Amino acid sequence: MKIDGVAYRSVWVDRGDGWSVHIIDQTKLPWALKIVRLTDVAQAAHAIRAMQARGAPLIGALAAYGLCLALRADASSEAMERDAEFLAATRPTAVNLRWALDRMLTRLRNTSPAERAAAAYAEAAAIAEEDVAQNEAIGRHGLPLIEEAAARKGGRRVNVLTHCNAGWLATVDWGTALSPIYTAHNAGLDVHVWVDETRPRNQGAALTAWELGKHGVPHTVVADNAGGHLMQHGNVDLAIVGADRVTRAGDVANKIGTYLKALAAHDNGVPFWAAVPSSTIDWTLSDGVAEIPIEERAATEVTDVTGRLPDGGVATVRVAPQESAAANPAFDVTPARLVTGLITERGRCEASVAGLRALFPDHAG
């Protein structure tokens, strides 16, 4: 996708040296476009943990490149297994991280140490390219949902609500939830996005609004609590969210607050879709609420907010009393019964064992 006319991806290998890894520092958006160069596995792990790079597919791709950086320093089998575990421990909920590292290890275990780094870069590049292709396909498979909503409304503007950032910044390119929106916008449909601000880290207000704006997609940032009201008044035609882990039965783990939006959508008859590449499906789990590990992040993300000052500087201020404790579960699980369906790279399906098995007989077993 483009930033001011220049094509970017969210992660790339330096074209000059051919090995260092670049990311856009998402903690600096929307105030500054800062590119960070990563040269070792500790920097890659820090970037994931500190959420300089975030979003399930992107952290998978970055972890793969992180392992490449690790192998440049030490390509022994012992170091490779240790560094893969180190990267896997950075964030617990998004399964793409473990998926990407398992794929790398499967490819590299039977490769000699002398050849490992080169093989690792090739595999990481394949993961990144496949992510782009899958997300582009999600856009194509999600487009009819927006076209059908437009047809129902006689061609009037379609309003889509989304939560958190599941756009190109959260993937290698295109995004998951935003891919059908970009595809519809590019096709000339009049689509407008309600952007949940997504407290506590405000990925909606800071990142989704920024990337939609850079692409020229009409959008409006709303407080997280506004979604139910907008739905009650007929102002949301459909909701599309991303996912960090989906069970084989279609339960969807996504950014905290997604479940409440699904409840409101259910009560108001608003279709609620999750856009999910197959790398986000955990075929080993059936009960998302019981089984998906939910990341607990720092309390300061809740008690503090960061924003731009009138003088252009960026500052973090505390909004809660100094002495108050805060809790910060970063994800929640929306049970499959509240999910209208899943948009995958192979098409759309019901959020159920049968629905997923029909599209992915090779994975579902």
Shortest approach of ligand MRU to residue 53 CB, angstroms? 9
**Percent of residues in the chain assigned helix, strand, coil, to nearest 5:** 45, 20, 35
* C-beta of residue 259 within 8 angstroms of C-beta of residue 337: no
Among 67, 97, 166, 205, binds ligand MRU (CB under 6 A): 166
DSSP strand pairing (21-24 vs 219-222): unpaired
Question: Taking Cα atoms as reference points, which of 249, 245, 239, 192 lies closest to residue 216?
Answer: 192
Binding residues for ligand MRU restricted to 170-189, rule: CB under 6 A? 170-171, 176
SS3 29: coil
Cβ within 8 Å of residue 204, ≥6 positions away: 162, 163, 164, 165, 195, 196, 197, 198, 221
Question: Taking Cα atoms as reference points, which of 223, 168, 216, 166 lies closest to residue 191?
Answer: 216
Shortest approach of ligand MRU to residue 322 CB, angstroms? 26
Stretch of residues binding ligand MRU (CB under 6 A), selected from 114-122, 160-168, 310-318, 344-352: 160-168
- Tell me the CA distances in angstroms from 328 to 134, 201, 303, 318, one per residue in order: 31, 10, 10, 15
Shortest approach of ligand MRU to residue 179 CB, angstroms? 9
Q: Which residue is nearest to ligand MRU (CB)?
A: 242
* C-beta of residue 157 within 8 angstroms of C-beta of residue 193: no
Shortest approach of ligand MRU to residue 61 CB, angstroms? 11
Please confirm, yes or no, whether 304 is among the known catalytic residues. no
Shortest approach of ligand MRU to residue 80 CB, angstroms? 25
Among 159, 203, 278, 279, binds ligand MRU (CB under 6 A): 203
By C-beta, is 57 or 341 nearer to ligand MRU? 57
Instruction: Find the helix or strand (DSSP H, E) in which 251 lies.
Output: none
State how far the Cα of 365 lies from the Cα of 363, in Å rounded to an integer. 6
By C-beta, is 133 or 358 nearer to ligand MRU? 133
The active-site residue out of 244, 251, 282, 332 is 244
- Tell me the CA distances in angstroms from 239 to 152, 181, 191, 213, 257, one per residue in order: 16, 11, 12, 19, 13
SS3 109: coil
Q: ∠ at Cα 88 (83, 94), nearest 5°? A: 160
Among 29, 61, 164, 349, binds ligand MRU (CB under 6 A): 164
By C-beta, is 170 or 292 nearer to ligand MRU? 170
DSSP classification of residue 42: H
User: Per CB under 6 A, does 56 bind ligand MRU?
Assistant: yes
Binding residues for ligand MRU restricted to 228-257, rule: CB under 6 A? 242-244, 254-255
Shortest approach of ligand MRU to residue 330 CB, angstroms? 6
Binding residues for ligand MRU restricted to 306-335, rule: CB under 6 A? 330
User: Per CB under 6 A, does 54 bind ligand MRU?
Assistant: yes
Among 57, 227, 288, 355, binds ligand MRU (CB under 6 A): 57
The site for ligand MRU, by CB under 6 A, has a size of 18
Residues of the shown chain interacting with ligand MRU in the complex, contacts defined by CB under 6 A:
54-57, 94, 164-166, 170-171, 176, 203, 242-244, 254-255, 330
Residues annotated as catalytic are 244
